[in-house]
């Protein structure tokens, strides 16, 4: 039977043999740590081969830099570790697989902090670099999630809290020259938006290479920047949480976060367009609709109703950002949109950094089904990847500029785990997702049958997904059987907590658990809580459908 075949294949998989000869001394302990996670992936179709090719290239991106401990590098032509990506969202995803490298990456930014509080925007073999700020994903959220997953003992949280507090103070002193309470962009590279029309006629770097100086002869700079302001809002929110864990008060950070949020809406939100724009030196909106929106949403700005409106009007709109292979870095109906993906561009193509930042925005508001509509086409594109480039053509899914790019590599690992794997969460849950990639492109099989394993607190869990049914095994014994199209939620010991609808269709069937046969019906995004042997509806938020 297919299930037994997949399990046998899964259990016999050896990552080291799939990768082949290691290239450097630090690879062996890193690969051993991957092995201790118990993560394996097996499938029919092409995806399994791509998955282990990605893992091999991930090792190329983990390099000792400025010390004996390896840290994560951006990869490709980007020789070093960038705060915008490698030091935040990339490391946040890597934390589920190789946590020691994530932690050493975070620590590197704190260790290289300047005396005035500024943290480097990148770290290379030549040392830290401070030319610009280049922030997107909030570091404090990544640090918080890492500590929640792996424990809060030791000096990690105190060290990072002190460093991030100092960086916040530097931004307040040097990046609010207009006194708005928001955060200003002095150049293109402050947000990593290379070649975006958002920054046409703006220098790539700050004045004289000084992150505290803006080009004085610019008619439009500085920009009050929505993504930078949202970053600081979210950063301050999580700094408040960390402060409380460390025995202090988070009240001051929450007050600061609220002021940042108020400034974001006062300065950057256009009620008519329902979009966030930069505000230029003349007080005008820079009306370029870019992935700034997705960045702001990933910083936990607004409630579910607000996010739903953004989905309808923009993120799931095929005229705006919901391309065949979403999300574009510019709105497609903007005449400045350029889908060309053969160079480093945020002027149109789908960037893997956007793809790995997106899940938090969707999951924060319970939009799990809508997220699968993004993952399905991207996994179809991933199944054809060989180089692991920075971006994709939004029309064809063909991989574009550079190679061995860690955001692309981590997108493979992350999307497989979210769609059809076993994912641990900072809240202490395990997500067993009963879906398989869909054959969107020419009907060519990607992975119609999958198996996934992960070791959690010494317990080995396995998940087998077939087109119609899924099964979870705990230490080799059947734990749960359930119909495809739902996510099983448990605690870290495998105790059932609930069932989430992951499909646009209503799923009806029976869940087998601990000798009980539990009939259930669940709609997309509906959550059923399991309590005292009974399934009860916890919430049902419905679906937000694509628009045109």
pTM for the predicted model, two decimal places: 0.98
* Interaxial angle between packed helices 352-364 and 368-382, expressed in degrees from 0 to 180 and rounded to the nearest 10: 160
* pLDDT in the model for residue 153: 86
Average pLDDT, the chain: 97
Any domain includes 121: no
Q: What percent of the chain has pLDDT over 90?
A: 96
Number of domains within the chain: 2
Q: Out of 285, 301, 317, pick the residue that ends a domain.
A: 301
* pLDDT in the model for residue 342: 87
Q: What CATH number is given to the structural domain containing 172?
A: 1.50.10.10
Q: Out of 244, 274, 301, pick the residue that ends a domain.
A: 301
Any domain includes 505: yes
Question: Which stretch of 56-70, 315-329, 367-381, 460-474 has the lowest confidence by average pLDDT?
Answer: 56-70
In this prediction, residues 225-229 reach a mean pLDDT of 98
Question: Phi/psi of residue 485, each to 5°?
Answer: 105, 5
Any domain includes 465: yes
Element (H, E) at 159: helix 156-174
Q: Out of 301, 327, 342, pick the residue that ends a domain.
A: 301
pLDDT for 40 beyond 90: yes
The 10s digit of each residue's pLDDT in 105-135 is 999 999 999 999 999 999 999 999 999 999 9
> What is the distance between the alpha carbons of residues 184 and 178, in angstroms, rounded to a whole number?
9
Dig out the tokens for 442 from the structure. 């020419």
| Residues 6 or more apart whose Cβ sits within 8 Å of residue 263 | 180, 181, 182, 229
* pLDDT in the model for residue 463: 98
The 10s digit of each residue's pLDDT in 334-386 is 999 999 888 899 999 999 999 999 999 999 999 999 999 999 999 999 999 99
* Per-residue confidence band for 524, with pLDDT thresholds at 50, 70 and 90: very high
State the CB neighbour count (10 A cutoff) for residue 236. 25
* Interaxial angle between packed helices 47-60 and 406-420, expressed in degrees from 0 to 180 and rounded to the nearest 10: 140
Any domain includes 398: no
Any domain includes 480: yes
Question: Which stretch of 229-233, 436-440, 448-452 has the lowest confidence by average pLDDT?
Answer: 436-440
Question: Phi/psi of residue 469, each to 5°?
Answer: -150, 150
Q: What length does the chain have?
A: 548
Dig out the tokens for 394 from the structure. 């939004």
* Interaxial angle between packed helices 47-60 and 27-36, expressed in degrees from 0 to 180 and rounded to the nearest 10: 130
Domain of residue 178 covers 131-301
* pLDDT in the model for residue 386: 95
pLDDT for 441 beyond 90: no
In this prediction, residues 214-226 reach a mean pLDDT of 98
| Residues 6 or more apart whose Cβ sits within 8 Å of residue 258 | none
Between 65 and 459, name the one with better pLDDT: 459
Any domain includes 94: no
Omega before 222 within 30 of 0, i.e. cis = yes
The 10s digit of each residue's pLDDT in 271-321 is 999 999 999 999 999 999 999 999 999 999 999 999 999 999 999 999 999
pLDDT for 514 beyond 90: yes
Any domain includes 269: yes
pLDDT for 33 beyond 90: yes
Any domain includes 222: yes
DSSP-assigned states of every residue in 212-271: T---TT-SSPSEE-HHHHHHHHHHHHHHHHHHHHTTS--HHHHHHHHHHHHHHHHHHEET
């Amino acid at each position: 039977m297919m299930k037994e075949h997949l399990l046998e294949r899964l259990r016999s998989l050896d990552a080291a043999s799939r990768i082949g000869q290691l290239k450097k001394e630090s690879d062996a302990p890193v690969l051993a740590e991957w092995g201790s996670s118990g993560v394996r992936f097996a499938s029919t179709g092409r995806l399994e081969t791509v998955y282990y090719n990605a893992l091999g290239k991930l090792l190329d991106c983990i390099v000792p830099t400025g010390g004996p401990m390896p840290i994560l590098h951006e990869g490709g032509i980007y020789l070093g570790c960038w705060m915008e990506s490698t030091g935040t969202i990339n490391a946040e995803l890597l934390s589920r697989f190789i946590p020691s490298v994530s932690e050493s990456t975070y620590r590197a930014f704190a260790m290289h902090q300047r005396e005035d509080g500024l943290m480097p925007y990148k770290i290379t073999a030549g040392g830290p670099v401070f030319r610009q700020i280049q922030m997107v994903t909030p570091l404090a959220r990544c640090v918080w999630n890492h500590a929640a997953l792996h424990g809060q003992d030791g000096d990690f949280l105190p060290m990072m809290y002190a460093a991030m507090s100092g960086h916040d103070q530097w931004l307040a002193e040097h990046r609010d020259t207009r006194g708005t309470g928001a955060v200003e962009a002095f150049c293109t590279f402050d947000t990593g938006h290379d070649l975006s029309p958002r920054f046409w006629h703006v220098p790539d770097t700050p004045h004289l290479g000084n992150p505290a100086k803006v080009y004085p002869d610019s008619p439009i700079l500085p920009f009050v920047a929505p993504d930078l302001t949202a970053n600081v809002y979210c950063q301050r929110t999580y700094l408040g949480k960390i402060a409380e864990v460390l025995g202090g008060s988070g009240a001051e950070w929450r007050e600061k976060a609220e002021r940042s949020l108020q400034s974001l809406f006062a300065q950057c939100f256009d009620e008519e367009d329902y979009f966030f724009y930069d505000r230029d030196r003349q007080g005008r909106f820079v009306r370029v609709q870019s992935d700034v929106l997705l960045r702001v949403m990933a910083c936990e700005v607004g409630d579910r109703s607000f996010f739903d409106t953004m989905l309808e009007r923009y993120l799931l709109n095929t005229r705006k950002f919901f391309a065949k292979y979403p999300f574009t870095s510019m709105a497609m109906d903007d005449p400045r949109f350029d889908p060309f993906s053969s160079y480093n561009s945020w002027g149109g193509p789908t960037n893997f950094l956007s793809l790995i930042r997106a899940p938090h925005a969707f999951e924060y508001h319970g939009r799990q089904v809508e997220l699968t509509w993004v993952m399905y086409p991207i996994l179809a594109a991933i199944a054809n990847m060989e180089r692991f480039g920075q971006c994709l053509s939004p029309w064809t899914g063909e991989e574009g500029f550079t190679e061995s790019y860690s955001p692309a590599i981590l997108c493979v690992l992350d999307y497989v785990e979210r769609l059809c794997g076993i994912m641990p969460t900072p809240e202490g849950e395990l997500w067993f997702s009963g879906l398989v990639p869909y054959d969107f492109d020419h009907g060519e099989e990607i992975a119609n049958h999958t198996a996934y394993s992960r070791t959690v607190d010494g317990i080995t869990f396995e998940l087998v997904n077939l087109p119609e049914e899924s099964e979870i095994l705990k230490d080799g014994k059947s734990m749960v059987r359930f119909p495809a199209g739902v996510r099983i939620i448990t605690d870290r010991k495998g105790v059932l907590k609930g069932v989430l609808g992951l499909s646009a269709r209503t799923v009806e069937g029976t869940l087998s658990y601990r000798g009980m046969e539990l009939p259930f019906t669940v709609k997309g995004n509906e959550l059923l809580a399991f309590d005292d042997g009974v399934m009860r509806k916890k919430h049902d938020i419905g679906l937000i459908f694509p628009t045109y």
